[in-house]
Amino acid sequence: MKERFYRFRVDFVQKIISIDDKTGEFIVSLEPDPRRYEWREINGRRSLYDKFDNVYIPEDVFQASLKTLKGKPIYFQPQKIDDAEAYIKSRQPIIENMLDDSEELPILEDKSEKFLQSLSVNKLAFVILSIDIVGSTKLSTSIDGAVFRNIIRTTLYELGDIIPKFHGYVLKYTGDGFIAYFPEPSFIAKNDLAIDCALTLRGLVYKALNPIFVDRGYPPIDVRIGFDAGEAYIETIGSPETKQYKDIIGAVVNLAVKIQSLANPGEIYLGEVAERNLHIMWRQICESVVPEEQWDYKNLDGNIYKVYKVKSK
């Protein structure tokens, strides 16, 4: 676990002070979000108390950190799905057509490979997301092969199609799921995008795919999702005589898959680095869990690496 690292975000409430109509530049004031912070006097020293992480930030240290933000670029990548419920509803007729084989799939294109090939660095910060269709092997041996083919084909297409709408890429399909990633430049924003994406993935399964499957006499499916954040290497894998491709290698990839395996059907789990870098609005719906199976992964401090669950609404 030595490759894992920590990045901390500070949540602010922003207020626009002025806007330059000619240049588009604007000046904002930043105040610590009161949902997460409060000012306290500790030994005669004013400090900002983080109610979520139970830490104190001395005022002079906090003010010094604000100065480091001056001149730094702000990366804003809003998700392309503003209303998840509306999006899920809009996919229902498309799912029906795909199950009838009347929906043509686009020409094959590996956008992940193109992105990874375009990078000029071999190490980057990612959020890695793993999703698994629970019990797919048992399902494949208990129903008609054509029905199973329809379920898997449609499910993986629909779930995979959501990922780029949150500025992510599908790294690889695993037969009964896939591994996706959300890369820099904005490491902080990627954590928010990943949890928003995970909730949309889950919603699509249980509110669109399963009702249609059941209406057709197909068995419903369950999925579990896990994600975490950290740095990883981009490497070329394989032999040129058979198959070569760009892959992402690092502890964060393995850990995201392990965290996913801890989740129960229908649940979303995440690691402590990802949880710590979520916006306060997302952290409020996460709760710490104790893995039921043996869990001996540790963080850089030598403590057990924490796992969190996204609360069901």
Mean pLDDT over 193-216 rounds to 97
- What's the confidence (pLDDT) of residue 4? 45
- Percent over 90 (pLDDT), the chain: 71
Band (pLDDT 50/70/90 cuts) for residue 1 is very low
Distance CA 174, CA 129 (A): 13
Any idea which residue has 């949880």 for tokens?
275
Distance CA 271, CA 99 (A): 35
Q: What is the dihedral of CA 274, 278, 281, 286, to 10 degrees?
A: 10
Band (pLDDT 50/70/90 cuts) for residue 71 is low
- Edge-to-edge strand ranges of the sheet holding 55-58: 37-42, 45-50, 55-58
Mean pLDDT of the chain: 90
* C-beta separation of 305 from 298 below 8 A: yes
Mean pLDDT over 106-116 rounds to 87
Instruction: Specify the 3-state DSSP secondary structure of 51.
Output: coil
* Nearest Cα to Cα of residue 35 among 56, 19, 20, 13: 13
* C-beta separation of 280 from 36 below 8 A: yes
Q: Both tokens of residue 7? A: 């990045």
Q: What is the pLDDT of residues 259-302, one digit of tens each?
A: 999 999 999 999 999 999 999 999 999 999 998 888 999 988 89
- What's the confidence (pLDDT) of residue 74? 60
Give the Å distances, CA to CA, from 274 to 83, 171, 241, 270, 303.
Answer: 23, 19, 38, 7, 17
Instruction: Specify the 3-state DSSP secondary structure of 274.
Output: helix
State which amino acid sits at residue 16.
I
Band (pLDDT 50/70/90 cuts) for residue 65 is confident
State which amino acid sits at residue 293.
E
Q: What is the pLDDT of residues 9-40, one digit of tens each?
A: 888 888 888 887 777 676 777 889 999 999 99
Angular region, 201: left φ>0, alpha ψ -120 to 50, beta rest: alpha
Distance CA 249, CA 171 (A): 11
pTM higher than 0.85, yes or no?
yes
Top pLDDT among 135 and 24 is at: 135
Instruction: Specify the 3-state DSSP secondary structure of 104.
Output: coil
Q: Both tokens of residue 32? A: 């610590």
Domains of the chain, earliest start first: 12-67 (no CATH), 84-310 (3.30.70.1230)
Mean pLDDT over 255-259 rounds to 97
Top pLDDT among 205 and 103 is at: 205
Other CB atoms within 10 A of residue 141 CB = 9
- What's the confidence (pLDDT) of residue 3? 46
40: Cβ contacts below 8 Å, ≥ 6 apart? 46, 47, 48, 49, 56
Q: Both tokens of residue 240? A: 């040129």
Residue 113: its H or E element: helix 111-118
Band (pLDDT 50/70/90 cuts) for residue 121 is very high
Band (pLDDT 50/70/90 cuts) for residue 313 is low
Give the Å distances, CA to CA, from 59 to 41, 48, 136, 140, 280.
Answer: 10, 6, 54, 59, 21
Task: Tell whether the model's pLDDT for residue 166 goes beyond 60.
Answer: yes
